[in-house]
């Protein structure tokens, strides 16, 4: 029995991790958009401990990326680092290959149980510009865990993330005198992942706004703040299970009692700082918070056959505070460019619930959810330019 409970906690932790950390997929330069991460619906609530001791770290695609702005655009210092060239419509198209491991993999005695984690991931982000402001793109992440996975159905399974359709307006307005650039985006999240399909996701909408300013420091300092809103549409209030865990529960009773509730709404805040140190070396760091609002259980008393009386729901549609779920996000990296189209990044990412399994605040920055990563990033537009130049 204890073994089954432990396995269940691990699987649940991996699922929560995927939901919260397929989030930084691109929170860092070369990563995905800061608005791509699931809304962390199942992260621990304010007054509730994180339910998993062996949860995986934020490593697959990045730990906090879906927070309302394209962080790659926010932290890169291309204007200061690279000479101006003819703009091609597919600029910003990137392919990234990631190797990541949990920080606690290096220390067997760091937690109650030892659950090593090592993953490889491929991130694809085609992009097309319509002029200098408006752009459209796709984002898809495919990953595979090399250690013994807790959340897959068979060994060495390739995990496909949700396909995201991204619309953006980059620097659509600059505030005079202050030189602050405004940006906006709207992402459509389609349920191509098994996780979203199990949660009965139909479609996710993620609009976001960002404000940023670039300063003349070294090769360019960029400070960017992003605010995002998430609205998810599900077929049911809770994820689907093969069979009810509560005997006799069917229909609405099953949906109300079968487990964690999906997040219908979410808010996110992210602060990103990027610094170009030399022509080939840059540094970026970010900190953020994602707040999700779980689906209400309703205010009706639930009657179950064979159980005397009725069961009162733990909250109601008006009990907003009880429906909140928090996810804290941190990250930092150095990126070197030994060759124009190629970037090599080394850093860490963390996406953790607010509370740990002892109902205490989780340690910031480095904890059981922290991942160390090494990325190889290929800028397709720069590669094409290099190849054309060599032909000439």
**What pLDDT score was predicted for residue 259?**
53
- For the chain, 392 residues long, give each residue's pLDDT as a single digit of tens: 333 444 444 444 444 444 444 444 433 333 333 333 333 333 333 333 333 334 455 555 454 444 433 444 444 434 333 445 578 999 999 999 999 999 999 888 887 888 899 999 999 999 999 999 999 999 999 999 999 988 888 888 999 999 999 999 999 999 999 999 999 999 999 999 999 998 999 999 999 999 999 999 999 999 999 999 999 999 988 776 544 454 544 444 444 444 578 899 999 999 999 999 999 999 999 999 999 988 776 555 555 566 666 555 554 444 556 678 889 999 999 999 999 999 999 999 999 988 877 778 888 888 889 999 999 999 999 999 999 887 65
Q: How far is CA 89 from the centre of its chain?
A: 27
CA atoms within 13 A on the CB side of 388: 8
**What gap in Å lies between CA 14 and CA 145, rounded to an integer?**
11
CB 200 within 8 A of CB 262: yes
Give the pTM: 0.76
User: Which domains can be identified in the chain, with CATH numbers?
Assistant: 2-391 (2.40.160.40)
**What pLDDT score was predicted for residue 57?**
52
Please state whether 86 falls in left (phi above 0), alpha (psi between -120 and 50) or beta. Answer: beta
Looking at residue 3, the DSSP 8-state letter turns out to be H
**What pLDDT score was predicted for residue 226?**
97
**What pLDDT score was predicted for residue 47?**
33
**What pLDDT score was predicted for residue 372?**
97
CB 371 within 8 A of CB 63: yes
């Amino acid at each position: 029995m204890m073994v089954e409970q432990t396995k269940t906690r691990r699987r649940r932790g991996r699922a929560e991790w995927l939901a919260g950390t397929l989030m930084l997929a691109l929170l860092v330069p070369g990563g995905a958009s800061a608005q791509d991460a699931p809304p962390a619906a199942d992260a621990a609530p304010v007054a509730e401990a994180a339910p998993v001791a062996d949860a995986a770290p934020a490593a697959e695609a990045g730990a906090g990326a879906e927070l309302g702005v394209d962080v790659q655009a926010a932290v890169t210092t291309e204007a200061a680092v690279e000479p101006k060239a003819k703009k091609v419509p597919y600029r910003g198209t990137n392919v990234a290959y990631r190797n990541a491991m949990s920080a606690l993999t290096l220390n067997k005695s760091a937690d109650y149980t030892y659950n090593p984690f090592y993953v490889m991931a491929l991130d694809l982000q085609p992009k097309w510009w319509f002029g200098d402001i408006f752009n459209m793109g796709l984002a898809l992440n495919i990953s595979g865990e090399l250690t013994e996975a807790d959340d897959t159905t068979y060994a060495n399974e390739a995990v496909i993330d949700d396909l995201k359709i991204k619309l953006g307006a980059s620097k659509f307005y600059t505030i005079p005198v202050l030189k602050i650039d405004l940006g906006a985006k709207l992402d459509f999240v389609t349920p191509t992942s098994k996780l979203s399909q199990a949660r009965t996701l139909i479609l996710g909408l993620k609009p976001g706004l960002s404000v940023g300013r670039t300063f003349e420091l070294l090769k360019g300092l960029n400070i960017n703040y992003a605010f995002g809103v998430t609205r998810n549409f599900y077929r049911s209030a809770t994820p689907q299970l093969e069979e009810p865990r509560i005997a006799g529960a069917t229909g609405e009773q099953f949906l109300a009692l079968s487990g964690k509730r999906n997040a219908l709404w979410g808010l996110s805040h992210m602060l990103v700082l990027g610094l170009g140190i030399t022509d080939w070396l840059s540094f970026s760091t970010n900190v953020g918070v994602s707040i999700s609002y779980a689906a209400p259980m309703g205010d009706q008393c639930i009657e179950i056959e064979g159980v005397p009386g009725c069961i009162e729901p733990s909250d109601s549609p008006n009990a907003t505070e009880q429906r909140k779920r928090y996810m804290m996000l941190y990250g930092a990296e150095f990126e070197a460019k030994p060759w124009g189209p190629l970037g090599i990044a080394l850093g860490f990412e963390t996406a953790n619930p607010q509370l740990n399994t002892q109902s205490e605040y989780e340690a910031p920055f480095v904890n059981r959810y922290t991942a160390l990563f090494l990325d190889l990033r290929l800028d397709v537009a720069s590669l094409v330019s290099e190849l054309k130049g060599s032909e000439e």
